[in-house]
């Protein structure tokens, strides 16, 4: 669960901060400056740190579970990202996305029982 929580946090933080900075500029040097600003943003750094922490949780999980059992649970992050991105960023909701998430959850259930 730690892997999922820190992965979701990192993705949401990156999206939130990058949206605040705007679109990637076209000229090469402007792109470099833009990316440098992103990399030194404290919140983005926390997103990178959360990815590292997520990997530590993942290593711990690998000591307890088979990869084929544990990895499908990573798909749960899709569900959390979908719901939280709608709530936090007003991203669009569609029946196709819900149907896709349903199949992801169904896949998690099926693989966890095997």
Instruction: State how far the alpha carbon of 24 is from the alpha carbons of 16, 28, 40, 113, in Å.
Output: 15, 10, 16, 44
pLDDT in tens, 30-41: 999 999 999 999
How many CB atoms lie under 10 A from the CB of residue 108?
Answer: 17
Selection from 41, 50, 63, 64 nearest residue 8 by Cα: 50
For the chain, the C-alpha Rg in angstroms (whole number) is 17
Position with higher pLDDT, 113 vs 1: 1
Average pLDDT, whole number, for the chain? 93
Report the pLDDT averaged over residues 45-54.
97
pLDDT at 113 exceeding the cut of 90: no
pLDDT in tens, 55-94: 999 999 999 999 988 888 888 898 999 999 999 999 999 9
Angle (CA) 107-109-112 rounded to 5° is 105
- Residue 30 CA to its chain's centroid (Å): 27
Report the pLDDT averaged over residues 8-13.
97
- Number of H helices and E strands in the chain, helices first, is 6, 0
């Amino acid at each position: 669960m730690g892997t999922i929580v820190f992965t979701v946090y990192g993705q949401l933080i990156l999206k939130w901060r990058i949206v605040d900075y705007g679109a990637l500029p076209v000229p090469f040097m402007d792109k470099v400056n833009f990316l440098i600003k992103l990399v030194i943003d404290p919140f983005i750094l926390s997103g990178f740190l959360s990815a590292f922490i997520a990997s530590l949780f993942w290593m711990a999980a690998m000591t307890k579970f088979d990869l084929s059992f544990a990895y499908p649970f990573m798909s749960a992050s899709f569900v959390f990202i979908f719901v939280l991105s709608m709530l936090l960023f007003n991203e669009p909701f569609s029946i196709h996305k819900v149907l896709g998430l349903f199949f992801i959850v169904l896949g998690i259930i099926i693989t966890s029982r095997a």
